[in-house]
Chains A and B, each alone.
Chain A
Amino acid sequence: MSKKLKALIIGPGNIGTDLLMKMQRSEWIEPVWMVGIDPTSEGLKRAEAMGIKTCATGVDGVLEHIVKDDIRIAFDATSAYVHAENSRKLNELGVIMIDLTPAAIGPFCVPPVNLVEQTKNLAMNVNMVTCGGQATIPMVAAISRVQPVEYGEIVATVSSRSVGPGTRVNIDEFTRTTASGVEQVGGAKKGKAIIVINPAEPPLMMRDTVHCLTETTPDQAAITESIHAMVKEVQRYVPGYQLVNGPVFDGKRVSCFMQVEGLGDFLPKYAGNLDIMTAAALRTAEMFAEEAANQSITLPARG
């Protein structure tokens, strides 16, 4: 019997399609359904061409197939507005929801920091924070696991082409959600997030700066080692994650300058911000599958 967990992707846009392409290489997750709301959507056509079952009538259209097709994991790449309902309907059927929207109704998940905890608890809805959060929170955590961080600030600079209409219409949600992630997962007492959109052509690679203010004088050797170890952890699922400069120490300030190059599956390589979301979401799902396979968690029972 296959150890792979079967999955459903909601939202056939750029993110959903990129996720699907990554999933086809996964040893732990098997994409089965792609759901959209527009029958003429390019994304659904692409999915169909890849041999995936598609449905253009939203989540409601697949509910009857969930148990029959043994769908265990769903990825929501739609919007915060519809996520809560999608999650409720699928959770009821015992499907674990991985939320790539900013809805954040479930606990935040940043794989190298707290994925193990979320899977052991069998959280039925985990939220992937934001792209800026995925790229920076590991660094904040790498510092705060060495010594207390009074204040963590992240600056995410992304190419204009990689910022979709959903983020643009509610950019405050990005800054708020990322700042809470810096606190709750990164471990900073106070978090702040800034996003800068740059329209340069050719598009720039995602850049992220992390500034932390430690409570006491930073232990430079320990922090440097912790940061390098954390970079390696992130590189396991985002090979293009790179520490360009730093850590720089200046009084109690510790700064790291990161670059995130995507894999270039469906989204271009410069869109490292989107790639790190899809890669982190898939990594999260894989962890659930691994834990289920070695029986350290038990998936919801089905008759």
Chain B
Amino acid sequence: MNLQGKKVTLHDMSLRDGMHAKRHQISLEEMVNIATGLDQAGMPMIEVTHGDGLGGASVNYGFPAHSDEAYLKAVVPKMKQAKISALLLPGIGTVDHLNMAKDCGVTSIRVATHCTEADVSQQHITQAAKMGMDTVGFLMMAHMVSPEKILEQAKLMVSYGANCIYATDSAGYMLPDDVTARIGLLRKELPKNIEIGFHGHHNLGMGIANSLAAIEAGASRIDGSVAGLGAGAGNTPLEVFCAVLDRMGVTTGVDLFKIMDVAEDLVVPMMDHPVRVDRNALTLGYAGVYSSFLLFAKRAEEKYGISARDLLVELGRRGTVGGQEDMIEDLALTMAKNK
């Protein structure tokens, strides 16, 4: 693979996707320290939000240690060069949350829908674009449908005003060829001024390989997280990815040793559990299940005595999508009744 001379924009997820792995309990101090470390390392974009996006604070997804507003107000003013983004899932967050994030100094908004439901993002994308924000359409669970369907949905988001489209491997299910097919078609068919991005999960250990495939197929933005802190087996570990890209001659603008230090000195010590491909995270990737279901399934296992792996396999079989965390306890109750 020859990526020599290419440029990519890296986007850190440790303070948003990483919130899943921390049960949304990252402290303001940790959030500021990590963001500051990343900023100094030259990370161009950092996402700061509840794991399930703006307005995600809930019984269903978990109440965070602090509100989105408190996190954003703590982090944004400390940034020297990094842009802070926020995630928004229509159906959970609203335009009111979007406006709040803008007021806190968020300059990039990522509006996420299931990969077949892009038309619920119209009011949020339109509003973000109208306010002059970097507006990203984020198609989740992109492994579940064909590249052609992803393109159709991406075009809707572009028509609402998105300037960048992501194919998102929320389940960490994709193999490099799956990534190439989706990113390649988006790059070929969408206008040149629309950027393409890829967001991976490491559940099958494919975070780095898939992200490289994405760059080769035309993606110019890649999500990952420092030390891999994210849902499931985490996101593409950015310090590793930076080293690989450096070896391959791809420009990222990120200082490798500095980001290594952020991973080792700040993020790893903060982890509640090692973020790795354990059997349950592997099951997510193997069965194609939304990565943030991991800890919910483990808790249901503890409470109801049903194996997390069995729960995840069944949720995959049922075609469960992002946001259906409530179905985990429900399924565990049903399986416990039938035992």
Contacts and interface: CB of A to CB of B under 8 A. Distances in A.
B95 A244 contact: no
Given A170-B123, A194-B58, A175 B94 contact: yes
B117 interface: yes
Interface in B93-140: 94-96, 114, 116-117, 119-120, 122-124
B5 to A, nearest CB: 40
B321 A257 contact: no
A104 to B, nearest CB: 16
Interface in A232-290: 244-246, 248, 253, 255, 257
Interface string B301-339: 000000000000000001111111011011001100100
Interface stretch (A24-32, A35-43, A196-204): A196-204
Contact of A197 (B117, B327, B334): B117
A292 B284 CA distance: 58
Contacts of B94: 172, 175-176
A80 interface: no
Contacts of A151: 59
Given A196-B321, A198-B320, A211-B60, A171 B329 contact: no
A172 B123 contact: yes
A198 B330 contact: no
Given A168-B120, A171-B91, A211-B59, A197 B329 contact: no
A248 B326 CA distance: 12
B241 to A, nearest CB: 31
A72 interface: no
Contact of A155 (B60, B114, B122, B322): B60
B270 interface: no
A198 B324 contact: yes
B70 interface: no
A199 B91 contact: no
A153 B60 contact: yes
Question: Does more than half of chain B's interface fall in helix, strand or loop, or is it mixed?
Answer: mixed
A165 B117 CA distance: 11
Nearest to A170: B123
Contacts of B60: 153, 155, 194, 209, 211
A253 B124 CA distance: 32
Q: Give chain A's interface residue range (CB within 8 Å of chain B).
A: 35 or more
B92 interface: yes
Residue from A196, A198, A200, A253 with most neighbouring chain B CB atoms (10 Å): A196
B321 A248 contact: no
Contacts of B95: 172
Given A194-B60, A248-B333, A257-B330, A169 B123 contact: yes
Interface string A148-175: 0001010101001000010011111011
Contacts of A153: 58-60
A80 to B, nearest CB: 13
A171 B123 contact: yes
A201 B323 CA distance: 18
Residue from A192, A194, A213 with most neighbouring chain B CB atoms (10 Å): A194
Contact of A199 (B114, B330, B333, B337): B114
B91 A160 contact: no
B90 interface: yes
B91 A207 contact: no
Contacts of A170: 123
B295 to A, nearest CB: 16
A257 B336 CA distance: 15
A299 interface: no
A171 B120 CA distance: 6
A83 B329 CA distance: 40
Residue from A155, A200, A201, A255 with most neighbouring chain B CB atoms (10 Å): A155
Contacts of B333: 245-246, 248, 257
Contacts of A248: 329, 333
A52 interface: no
A195 interface: yes
Interface in A34-67: none
B122 A196 contact: no
Interface in B31-62: 58-60
A132 to B, nearest CB: 10
24 contacts: A153-B60, A169-B119, A172-B96, A172-B124, A174-B91, A194-B60, A194-B323, A195-B91, A197-B91, A197-B114, A197-B321, A198-B114, A198-B319, A198-B320, A198-B324, A199-B116, A204-B318, A204-B319, A209-B326, A211-B59, A245-B337, A246-B333, A255-B329, A257-B330
Interface of A: 151, 153, 155, 157, 160, 165, 168-172, 174-176, 192, 194-201, 204, 207, 209, 211, 213, 244-246, 248, 253, 255, 257
Given A198-B319, A257-B329, 20 more contacts: A160-B116, A168-B117, A169-B122, A171-B90, A171-B91, A171-B123, A172-B96, A194-B58, A194-B92, A196-B321, A196-B323, A198-B114, A200-B321, A209-B330, A211-B58, A211-B59, A211-B60, A245-B329, A248-B333, A255-B59
